[in-house]
């Protein structure tokens, strides 16, 4: 469509993906529904008269136990049923923060909770861990909650969607246990087997240490502003700047994406998009957990508007998007747990501005050199166009930037902000927690964890017939025929010094360890996607190397857990900094929203993409690029 008809031609039909959780059948099924006829700006959309419904997933292929997080699930009755039998001990340890307690006062804040997937969750059994936090009474200070973990929790089997069937087990109290059933926990509390912790949360539990504040609020630093006459043009999501042209969008589940990326009229990428953001925490058997945050959505739940002057410079162009999930809360003191709730309505989109576009002065040179003879400096200032998107998922803020350079380079950066998820620690009660993190405040440990993000780059270098070439630096013997003089032969009579050479390898097939790569600082390698049929003719003063793009990870690490760990199996893309596969419509995403539960049985796996061992010489190729950091505090 984009090649043959342009923007004025007939558009391809649009379809909806409809996802159903079938309670009776105990599975999840997806349908393709359409065509959908959309009105101007998406208004008055309707289903075409000739619409069809086509299953995308076979019935029974995905069990209901692998359903993604559902914010309509209500855990209040479950939590109350667990705490009621141990109410007195709970208040003794943590203070009057139970909202249904007669001694509860709003100034004390209250007990908050959320469910996360447990490492023991399987394809057949959906096991979660209910995690507790103290909610500050002032909703504007609610983010402080991540700095105030409540050392109490339990596992729950909620394989079936009906809350009446949920079964709590493996209870922790003051981080001691687990006690498999409630009677075991009650007996341990009654007989003094549990060392009581004294946290006594209240409004005074918090001060300036647990929320960031400017150190010098009255000392203003330099401010960047955009030109009144920007060099970029934006219309209906189509962006043009200094020879670059592309379309930008923000998808509900995975966040920012760029399509039809061209330079000087030639497409180099069909798609460049964020795929997932992965975090895996170390800990004891009950405390190990991971978040594939696309399962929660990288742009829907708590994401908000970007801030001009901080996220983007003043004068930046803001891109509007829509979300259908969010939070609604009344400002002021907490009066009931209902003051904090999620809202969701597919018929009522919430407009917000999660993406901005601006020109950036890099404060350095694109090219620079001093003429030794004259002292004259030749230089050009480095500027680039930035497309920045920020998605907030719980305590994390993911800052993704796509930067377009004047020399044809595209730079993709991923930064992290927000709050760490923390654990309570006490050397007399749970000293085993110490190796898993750093104690940064009294009673507060920040556990070690990985952050890894994946970006999809669907290359179209002068067409869809592309190849993957690895150029590595190898060490070899100096060729003997290059040692010619008598003196050299005398010096190197026994052995010549080794030398560095470059070796090009054309990768022929998909495969783990074949079309994948991991950064190795002791063996520098450049990974390139090229079109071997696009070689300039010799004799014109240009390179005769095939046209293409190099993929160059900067500071990064990769998965540190072993290959057989559930969190690695669930996100096999985290094993590679690069994996190249043949493009398929059935392999359009590197991860699935269904893989937060039952991590050892993933629905989507990059390793399965690679198992095909398909030919990748002059084929339509996708590069799955993963970068990240090990968050050591």
Tell me the catalytic residues. 293, 396
* Total Cβ atoms within 10 A of residue 69: 18
Residue 364 token pair: 């350095």
d(CA 167, CA 127): 10
Q: Which are the contacts of 127, defined by CB distance < 8 A and separation ≥ 6?
A: 117, 118, 120, 121, 155, 156, 157, 158, 597
In SS3 terms, 258-320 reads as EEEEEECCEEEEEEEEEEEEEEEECCCCCCCEEEEHHHCCCCCCCCCCCCECCCECECCEEEE
d(CA 29, CA 614): 29
Exposure string of 138-162, with b = 16+ CB inside 10 Å and e = fewer, is beeebebbbbbbbbbbbbbbbbebe
d(CA 223, CA 221): 6
d(CA 179, CA 215): 45
- Are 249 and 239 within 8 A, CB to CB? no
d(CA 269, CA 409): 12
Phi, psi of 189, deg, nearest 5: -70, -45
d(CA 172, CA 8): 63
d(CA 435, CA 115): 25
Residue owning tokens 């209040």: 76
Residue 156 CA, chain-centre distance (Å), reads: 26
DSSP 541-599: SS--SPEEEEE---S-----S-TTSHHHHHTGGGG-SEEEEE--GGG--SS-GGGSSST
Phi, psi of 573, deg, nearest 5: -65, -20
- Are 124 and 139 within 8 A, CB to CB? no
Phi, psi of 288, deg, nearest 5: -75, 130
Nearest to 521 by CA among 547, 557, 490: 557
Q: How does strand 410-418 pair with strand 396-405?
A: antiparallel
Give rounded-to-5 percent helix, strand, coil for the chain.
Answer: 15, 45, 40
DSSP 123-155: SS--EEEEEEEEEPSBGGGGGGGGG-EEEEEEE
Nearest to 121 by CA among 297, 289, 295: 289
Residue 491 CA, chain-centre distance (Å), reads: 57
d(CA 582, CA 609): 9
3-state secondary structure of 215: coil
DSSP 55: E
User: Cα Rg for the chain, rounded, in angstroms?
Assistant: 28
Residue 207 token pair: 């001060």
DSSP 199: -
- Are 591 and 454 within 8 A, CB to CB? yes
């Amino acid at each position: 469509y984009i090649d043959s008809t342009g923007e004025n031609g007939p558009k391809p039909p649009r379809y909806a993906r409809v996802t159903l959780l079938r309670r009776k059948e105990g599975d999840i099924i997806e349908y393709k529904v359409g065509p959908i006829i959309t009105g101007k700006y998406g208004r008055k959309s309707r289903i075409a008269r000739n619409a069809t419904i086509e299953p995308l997933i076979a019935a029974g292929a995905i069990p209901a136990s692998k359903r993604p997080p559902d914010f309509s699930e209500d855990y209040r009755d479950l939590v109350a049923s667990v705490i009621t039998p141990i109410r007195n001990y709970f208040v003794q340890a943590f203070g009057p923060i139970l909202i249904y307690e007669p001694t509860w006062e709003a100034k004390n804040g209250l007990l908050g909770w959320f469910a996360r997937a447990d490492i023991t969750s399987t394809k057949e059994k959906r096991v979660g861990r209910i995690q507790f936090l103290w909610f500050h009474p002032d909703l504007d200070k609610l983010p402080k909650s991540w700095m105030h973990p409540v050392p109490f929790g339990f596992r729950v089997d909620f394989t079936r969607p009906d809350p009446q069937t949920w079964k709590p087990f493996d209870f922790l109290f003051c981080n001691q246990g687990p006690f498999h059933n409630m009677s075991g926990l009650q007996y341990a509390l009654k007989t003094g087997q549990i060392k009581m912790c004294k946290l006594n949360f209240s409004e005074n539990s918090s001060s300036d240490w647990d929320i960031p504040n400017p150190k010098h609020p009255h000392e203003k630093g330099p401010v960047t502003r955009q030109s009144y006459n920007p060099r970029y043009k934006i219309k209906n999501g189509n962006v043009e700047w200094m020879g670059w042209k592309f379309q930008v969008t923000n998808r509900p589940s995975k966040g920012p994406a760029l399509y039809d990326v061209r330079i000087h009229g030639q497409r180099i990428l069909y798609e460049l998009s964020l795929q997932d953001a992965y975090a895996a925490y170390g800990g004891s058997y009950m405390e190990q957990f991971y978040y594939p945050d696309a399962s929660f959505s990288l742009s829907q739940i708590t994401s908000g508007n970007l801030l001009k002057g901080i996220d983007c410079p003043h004068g930046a162009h803001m891109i509007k998007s829509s979300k259908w999930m969010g939070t609604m809360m009344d400002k002021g003191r907490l009066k009931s747990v209902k003051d904090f709730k999620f809202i969701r309505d597919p018929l009522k989109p919430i407009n917000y501005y999660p993406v901005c576009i601006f020109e950036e002065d890099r404060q350095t040179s694109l090219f620079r050199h001093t003429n030794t003879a004259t002292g004259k400096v030749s230089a050009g200032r480095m500027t680039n166009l930035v497309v920045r998107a920020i998605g907030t998922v719980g305590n994390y803020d993911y800052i993704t930037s796509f930067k377009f350079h004047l020399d044809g380079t595209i730079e993709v950066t991923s930064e992290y902000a927000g709050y760490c998820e923390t654990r309570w620690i006490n050397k007399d009660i749970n000293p085993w927690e110490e190796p898993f993190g750093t104690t940064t405040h009294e009673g507060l440990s920040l556990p070690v964890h990985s952050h890894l993000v994946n970006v999809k780059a669907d290359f179209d270098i002068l067409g869809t017939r592309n190849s993957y070439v690895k150029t590595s630096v190898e060490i070899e013997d100096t060729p003997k025929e290059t040692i010619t003089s008598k003196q050299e032969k005398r010096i190197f009579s026994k052995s010549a010094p080794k030398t560095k050479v470059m070796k090009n390898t054309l990768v022929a097939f998909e495969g783990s360890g074949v079309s994948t790569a991991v950064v190795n600082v002791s063996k520098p390698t450049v990974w390139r996607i090229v079109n071997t049929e696009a070689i300039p003719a010799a004799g014109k003063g240009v390179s005769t190397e095939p046209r293409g793009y190099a993929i160059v990870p900067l500071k990064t690490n990769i998965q540190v857990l072993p290959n057989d760990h559930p969190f690695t199996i669930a996100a096999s893309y985290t094993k590679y900094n690069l994996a190249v596969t043949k493009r398929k419509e059935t392999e359009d995403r590197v991860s699935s929203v269904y893989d937060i539960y039952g991590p050892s049985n993933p629905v989507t796996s990059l390793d399965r993409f690679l198992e095909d061992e398909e030919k990748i010489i002059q084929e339509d190729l996708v590069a799955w690029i993963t970068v990240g950091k090990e968050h050591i505090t």
